Amino acid sequence: MTIPLALKFKGKKYMWDGTQYEIEDAAKKIAESYQKEGFEVKLSKNTDMYLVYTRRVAVAQAAE
Protein backbone atom coordinates (compact mmCIF):
# COMPACT_ATOMS: atom_id res chain seq x y z
CA MET A 1 0.00 0.00 0.00
CA THR A 2 1.37 3.39 -0.96
CA ILE A 3 1.00 6.41 1.26
CA PRO A 4 -0.04 9.63 -0.46
CA LEU A 5 2.61 12.34 -0.10
CA ALA A 6 -0.09 15.02 -0.12
CA LEU A 7 -3.74 15.10 0.94
CA LYS A 8 -6.39 17.79 0.79
CA PHE A 9 -8.43 18.64 3.85
CA LYS A 10 -11.24 21.13 3.25
CA GLY A 11 -9.59 22.21 -0.01
CA LYS A 12 -6.17 22.86 1.56
CA LYS A 13 -3.12 20.81 0.57
CA TYR A 14 -1.12 19.15 3.36
CA MET A 15 2.17 17.28 2.95
CA TRP A 16 3.05 14.03 4.77
CA ASP A 17 6.03 14.33 7.14
CA GLY A 18 7.42 10.99 5.92
CA THR A 19 7.05 8.99 9.13
CA GLN A 20 4.55 6.30 10.09
CA TYR A 21 3.66 6.32 13.80
CA GLU A 22 2.45 3.13 15.48
CA ILE A 23 1.05 4.94 18.52
CA GLU A 24 -1.47 7.76 18.25
CA ASP A 25 0.07 9.62 21.21
CA ALA A 26 3.45 9.70 19.44
CA ALA A 27 1.81 11.21 16.33
CA LYS A 28 0.00 13.79 18.47
CA LYS A 29 3.25 14.76 20.22
CA ILE A 30 4.96 15.34 16.85
CA ALA A 31 1.90 17.24 15.59
CA GLU A 32 2.12 19.57 18.61
CA SER A 33 5.79 20.29 17.87
CA TYR A 34 4.91 21.19 14.27
CA GLN A 35 2.13 23.49 15.50
CA LYS A 36 4.60 25.31 17.76
CA GLU A 37 6.70 25.95 14.63
CA GLY A 38 3.74 27.59 12.87
CA PHE A 39 2.41 24.68 10.81
CA GLU A 40 -1.21 23.67 10.38
CA VAL A 41 -1.42 19.94 11.17
CA LYS A 42 -3.81 17.08 10.38
CA LEU A 43 -3.58 13.49 11.62
CA SER A 44 -4.66 10.61 9.43
CA LYS A 45 -5.05 6.93 10.27
CA ASN A 46 -3.71 4.62 7.55
CA THR A 47 -4.62 1.00 8.34
CA ASP A 48 -2.87 0.49 11.72
CA MET A 49 -0.45 3.44 11.47
CA TYR A 50 -0.88 7.16 12.13
CA LEU A 51 0.34 9.78 9.67
CA VAL A 52 1.02 13.47 10.24
CA TYR A 53 0.28 15.93 7.45
CA THR A 54 1.39 19.56 7.68
CA ARG A 55 1.09 22.82 5.77
CA ARG A 56 2.44 26.30 6.20
CA VAL A 57 1.17 29.36 4.40
CA ALA A 58 3.97 31.48 3.01
CA VAL A 59 4.04 35.00 4.35
CA ALA A 60 3.99 37.58 1.58
CA GLN A 61 7.27 39.46 1.29
CA ALA A 62 7.36 43.18 0.63
CA ALA A 63 8.50 44.11 -2.87
CA GLU A 64 11.79 45.99 -3.07
Q: What is the pLDDT of residues 4-32, one digit of tens each?
A: 999 999 999 999 999 999 999 999 999 99
Asked whether the predicted pLDDT for residue 59 surpasses 80, the reply is no
**DSSP 8-state symbol, 57:** P
- Answer for the pair 12, 40: CB distance below 8 angstroms, yes or no: yes
- What pLDDT shows up at residue 27? 97
Place 63 in a pLDDT band, splitting at 50, 70 and 90. low
Q: Is 48 helix (H, G, I), strand (E, B) or coil?
A: coil
Contact 16, 7 (CB under 8 A): yes
- The pLDDT-based confidence of 60 (bands split at 50, 70, 90) is low
